[in-house]
Amino acid sequence: MALSTSFRSNLIKPLTALTALSSTQHLRRPFSSSADDSTVLTIETSVPFVGHKCEPPSRNVETTPKELLGFFHDMALMRRMEIASDSLYKSKLIRGFCHLYDGQEAVAVGMEAAITKKDCIITAYRDHCIYLGRGGTLVECFSELMGRQAGSSKGKGGSMHFYKKDSGFYGGHGIVGAQVPLGCGLAFAQKYSKDETVTFAMYGDGAANQGQLFEALNIAALLDLPAILVCENNHYGMGTAEWRAAKSPAYYKRGDYVPGLKVDGMDALAVKQACRFAKEHALKNGPIILEMDTYRYHGHSMSDPGSTYRTRDEISGVRQERDPIERIRKLILSHELSTEAELKSIEKKIRSEVDDAIAQAKESSMPEPSELFTNVYVKGFGIEVAGADRKEVRGVLP
C-alpha cells in the first residue's frame, strides 16, 4: 500500500533537540549516579507544542539527573517486557488478543511524571505499560498475560483487561472507544467529590472517529468535567493509515469547542509538560484534548505483521530518528550523568528481571473453573432472568 510522501516524512522527520522525563516511583532502579540528583536541568522539547483554542505551554522543561535516569530505566523495562511478551505469544503461552506498546513508552512515562496515583487513567487494549507505570509489577503483568491467578485481574482479563483500582487505573478495554465515556464518568465523580483530581481517558487514532467519543466530550464540556482526552496517534488503526480513515487527522482540534494540544509523543519531556498543563487546565476550565504524536513498532496486534500497509524503511526510520529511549540515552550521555557502560549494565539487569518475572509467573496456577462466576455482578445487586427463579440465579452468581 502506497503512502503519501508528506505522511511518511512527518513520521520520520529528524528532530534536533533532546528530551527527558520524571520517574515512576514503583519501579526498582538498580543504578547509582555520580551526578547530583537534585541538580535542575532545563531541556527544550524536540518540537513546539501546537495549541487549539489555548496558549501552548513553554518548550523549556525542568528535570533532574534522577528523573532522567529513572525514565531511561522505566522505558527500557517497558520495552523489554513487550519484546518478551512477543516471544511468549509466539510460544503460545499467551493466547487470544495481544496488543504491544513498544515505541509508545514516552507517553506512559511522561504522563506519570506529571500526575499522582489519585488521578485516574483509563485506556484501550494496549494497556500493559500503562499498568506498569501505575504501580503494577512484572510478575502481575506476565501472569495476567498467561492467564494465571497472580495476574492483575486474577488471570481472567488477559492482555486487554489489566486493572489496578488502588492506583487509579480503571483498566484496559476491548471495545474500541468505549473507555472514553467511562473516563468522563470518572471525571464526573471527581468533580462531585471536589478532590482536585483529573481523569486521563486514552484512545487511539482509530477510535477517534467513534460517535460515543464526541457524545462524552459534549457532556464533559457542558459540565466542565476534569477530563483529559488523550489520543495516542500512532498513525495506523487496524492496518489503516490515519489519512485514509479521517478527513481531519488533526485530532487535537476535533473538540471544536474544547481546547486541544498537539504533543510530540516520542518526547518524554514534552509529554510531561503537556500533561501537567492539561491537568491545571482541566481543574480550572474543564476538558481538554491531547494528541500524542507517537508510533508503534509492532503491528496492531499479534495477528498483524505490521508490514503490509507500511514499509520497513518507515519503521526503521522512526527507530533511528525518534525512538524515545534513545533520545533519553543521548540526553544522559550529553550531560555526563552516566556512562554508556553503566546504561548497558542497567539494560542487562532489566533483561534478568524480566526473565525472573516470567519464571515466577509460570509458577502461578490457572484460575479455578468456579472463578468464571465471580466478579460478574456486584453483590446485593438484583438479577432478573426470564423464566428463572430469582433465588436460584442469585445462588449461582454471587
pLDDT digits (tens, 9 = 90+) for 310-338: 999 999 999 999 999 999 999 999 999 99
Q: What is the pLDDT of residues 330-380, one digit of tens each?
A: 999 999 999 999 999 999 999 999 999 999 999 999 999 999 888 888 776
Please give the pLDDT value at position 29: 46
Average pLDDT over residues 237-265: 94
Q: Are 167 and 134 in contact (CB under 8 A)?
A: yes
**CATH 3.40.50.970 domain range(s) in the chain:** 5-16+50-56+72-320+346-367
Give CA–CA dist 220/213, Å, rounded. Answer: 10
Whether residue 224 has pLDDT greater than 80: yes
Whether residue 385 has pLDDT greater than 50: yes
Give the side-chain half-sphere CA count within 13 A for 306. 19
Q: Directed axis angle between helix 324-334 and helix 268-285, to 10°?
A: 110
Name the band, by pLDDT with cuts 50, 70 and 90, for residue 398. Answer: very low
Phi-psi region for residue 36, left (φ > 0), alpha (ψ -120 to 50) or beta?
Answer: beta
With 0-12 CB in 10 A as exposed, 13-18 as middle and 19+ as buried, what is 44? Answer: middle
Could you tell me what percent of the chain has a pLDDT over 70? 87
Give CA–CA dist 134/123, Å, rounded. Answer: 12
Other CB atoms within 10 A of residue 379 CB: 7
Q: Are 30 and 77 in contact (CB under 8 A)?
A: no
Give the fold, CATH level 3, of 5-16+50-56+72-320+346-367. Answer: Rossmann fold (3.40.50)
Whether residue 124 has pLDDT greater than 80: yes
Q: Which of 1-15, 83-97, 164-178, 248-262 has the lowest mean pLDDT?
A: 1-15
pTM (2 decimals)?
0.88
Give CA–CA dist 197/269, Å, rounded. Answer: 21
Q: What are the two backbone dihedrals, phi and then psi, of residue 244, each rounded to the nearest 5 degrees?
A: -90, -15
Reference 67, options 263, 327, 347, 269; nearest CA is: 269
